[in-house]
Amino acid sequence: MVKSFRILLVSVFIWVSGTILFAEEHEGKAAEEQQFDALGMIMHHISDSHFWHVIAFEKKDGSVFEISIPLPVILIYDGSIHLFLSSAFHHGKSVVQKGNHFFKLHHDKIYVTDAAGELTFSEDGTPENIKPLDFSITKNVASMWMSVLIIFALFVSSARKYKGKPSAPSGIQSFVEPLILFVRDDIVIEQIGEEKADRFMPFLLTVFFFVWINNLIGLIPFFPGGSNVSGNIAFTFTLALFAFILINVNGTKTYWKDIFATPGVPGMVRIILIPIEVVGIFTKPFALMIRLFANITAGHIVILSLTSLVFILKTVYVSPVSMSLTLFMFLLELLVGLLQAYIFTLLSALFIGMAVHNEEH
Amino acid sequence: MNLLSPDPGLVFWTGLTFIILLYVLSKYAWRPILHAIRVREHTIKYALAAAERSQQEAESMEKLKKKTLAEAALERDRLIAEARDLKSTIIDDAKKSAQKEADKIIESTRQMLKKEKDDVLKQMKEQVAILSVDIAGKLLEQELKTTVKQKELINKYLEEMSFN
Amino acid sequence: MSLTAIGLGFIVIGAGLGIGLIGKGAMEAMGRQPEVLPKIQTAMIIGAALIEGVALFAIVLAWLVDK
């Protein structure tokens, strides 16, 4: 994380100043450093963290100056809850003692260790120590809460403007209303149908804006953005789980009949079809989960890879290419962020619409 | 890769956050906003329908007015034509009766004149007869003084006095 | 690793072809019947998303098998 920010800062600075002399000085310095680990940096960026980094850079004497917000760590282990700030780990250097237990941070995961903080590693390099149940407020959780605050600010304040006599939208309403109408008319009503749409409107509207705002926050390259909430499998898993529950709880007789007694299909074929249909119940939300995760994470990986191009190729001359490609990807990701929120909502609505469909067909 | 295994802590927090978000937004954002939008849509629809209706009403009023005007014009024309007809008949009648009267007057005048003429003629005849008798008497008086001459004269006059 | 990479390449080729065909069909349909454009767009996005879903399944499986 430290490195990624340094890299980001340096590349932006180089690109802006554009002087070769200045750049060469830094290049010479970079060459002295150890091999740049692009994959590690990218993986670090797109995974969750117990710290919320603001800024970090290396001082002239080689020491690292860093500002990062320590986040609360909540652990459940051995039947008790342990609560402390993540700064107690000192970035994995210290072992934290809580009662009789010792915890150590290793690659953003918390392990139970002995007093000395010994970790036993398996053959492929992952620690074999027990992991406590980690309910910490991580960077992703904090970032998600920020998005929730933004959404509240956007919609609860604009909802207030709707009180009183009907009038033409003004101010924030004119931003919010077309989006709401778009979700209502072009997604929910079109896929579910007029008479049943109202029941699912709040869920789908919430999903749309929750995903979209988190996608956008993930694209902000500096604090307080830059987290990868909507590209985290846990986030997409949860949303897909809600969609899964909603689809199957509201499934009509027709929906279940189509699965277990597909009309117009002979008995033998039905035996083959039933497992396929049952698997289909799970693949639909699974596809939702994977799609959002893969699209957003891939976007982050591509942007970070393009940014790291200067350091991978170890030449500053590639920086205009790298930076213009990064800019292009940022713009594309802005579109993808909206598109994926749309597709997630659209497909949820489509599946719900299929489940609540009542007619024989 | 641990990228693909959901972290239970994050799943828990996401779920909790999402449920709270869903609840708060449904109550304080979606319901009032959607309701207000629906009310506004209904208002607009209603207003449009009302406008449409009043326009139709105005149009039908206009039509009615035009129709009434056209009918009035027709009636007026008819009345004028009637009056004109009446006038000409009256004039004709008057002319005819005047003619008749005139004819009658002329006829009666003519008859009167004829009668007068006849009377005058009759009187003239009588007068002439009287005068003739007088003249004859006087002549006779003179002529009878000389018989021969008297005779001649009587004969001559008598010959001359042939009326008609 | 290299075999997985080749597999991933094939997945991308397949998905790209599929989505390309959908796009082609949608464009032609839009040109023919511009009045139902929004419906075609929605159907196109759904189709593309389903193909993408299959491709992502394959990528995830490739990832898991590789591990």
- Residue with more model confidence, C25 or B1: C25
Question: Which tokens belong to B48?
Answer: 């449009």
CA torsion A185-A189-A194-A200 (nearest 10°) is -120
User: DSSP class of residue A350?
Assistant: H
- Residue C46's closest CA among A190, A118, A356? A190
Closest by Cα among A5, A89, A3 to A40: A3
Per CB-CB distance under 8 Å, the chain A contacts of C53 are 283, 287, 290-291
Question: B24 contacts in A (CB within 8 Å)?
Answer: 152, 156
* Type of residue found at A252: T
**Chain C contact for B2, CB < 8 A?**
no
CA angle A45, A336, C1 (to 5 degrees): 55
Of the candidates A156, A166, A238, the beta carbon closest to that of B28 is on: A156
Separation of alpha carbons A329 and A306, rounded Å: 9
A287/chain C closest Cα distance in angstroms = 5
Residue A133 in tokens: 């149940």
Domains annotated for chain C, with CATH where assigned, are: 2-66 (1.20.20.10)
Residues from chain C that touch B1, judged by Cβ atoms under 8 A, are 63, 67
Question: Which chain C residue lies closest to B1 (C-alpha atoms)?
Answer: C67
Distance of residue B1 Cα from the nearest chain A Cα, in angstroms: 10
CB contact under 8 A, C49 and A190: no
**pLDDT over threshold 80, residue B1:** no
DSSP H or E stretch at residue B161: none
Beta carbons of B1 and C67 less than 8 Å apart: yes
Give alpha helix (H) positions in chain A. 2-17, 20-32, 38-46, 139-160, 173-181, 190-192, 194-219, 233-249, 253-260, 267-313, 319-356
Measure B8 CA to nearest chain A CA, in Å.
7
Query: Cβ C38–A186 below 8 Å, yes or no?
Result: yes
> CB neighbours of A290 closer than 8 A, spacing ≥ 6?
A236, C53, C56, C57, C60
Determine the pLDDT at residue A26.
38
Our CA-based measurement puts residue A187 at a distance from the nearest CA of chain B, in whole angstroms, of 15
Interface of C with B (CB under 8 A): 60, 63-64, 67
Q: What is the pLDDT along chain A (361 residues), one digit of tens a residue?
A: 455 555 555 554 444 443 333 333 333 344 445 567 778 888 888 888 888 878 877 777 777 777 888 888 888 887 788 888 888 787 767 777 777 778 888 777 888 887 777 777 777 777 777 788 888 888 899 999 999 999 998 888 888 888 777 677 777 888 888 999 999 988 899 888 888 888 899 999 999 999 999 999 999 888 777 788 898 899 999 999 999 999 999 888 888 888 887 777 787 888 888 888 888 899 889 889 988 998 898 889 888 888 888 888 888 888 888 889 999 999 999 999 999 999 999 999 999 998 888 765 5
Q: Which helix (H) or strand (E) holds A76?
A: strand A72-77
Q: What is d(CA A296, CA A304) in angstroms, rounded to the nearest whole number?
A: 12
The span from the CA of A186 to the CA of C65, in Å, is 39
Distance set, CA C45 to CA B92, C50, C60 (Å): 94, 9, 22
Confidence at residue A243, expressed as pLDDT on a 0 to 100 scale: 94
Tokens for B120?
């005058």
What SS3 class is residue A135? coil
**Is B20 an interface residue toward A (CB < 8 Å)?**
yes
Which chains have 3 or more CB–CB distances shorter than 8 Å to chain A? B, C
Distance of residue B39 Cα from the nearest chain A Cα, in angstroms: 7
User: With helix as H, strand as E and coil as C, how does A231-256 read?
Assistant: CCHHHHHHHHHHHHHHHHHCCCHHHH
Q: What percent of chain B has pLDDT over 90?
A: 53
Quick one: which of A343, A354, A77, A72 has its CA closest to A212?
A343
What's the pLDDT band for B146 if we cut at 50, 70, 90?
low
Q: Which long-range contacts (CB under 8 A, 24 or more apart) does A22-26 make?
A: A23/A316, A23/A319, A24/A316, A26/A316
Residue in A291, A346, A350 nearest the CB of C56: A291
Specify whether the backbone of A261 is left (phi greater than 0), alpha (psi in -120 to 50) or beta. beta
From the centroid of its chain, how far is CA A37? 23
Q: Do A346 and C49 lie within an 8 Å CB cutoff?
A: yes
Task: Name which of A26, A16, A352 is nearest A191 in CA terms.
Answer: A352
Residue type, A241: L
The answer to whether the Cβ–Cβ distance between A291 and C49 falls below 8 Å is yes
pLDDT at B67 over 90: yes
Most confident option among A156-160, B138-142, C62-66 = A156-160
Cβ within 8 Å of C, B 75-104: none
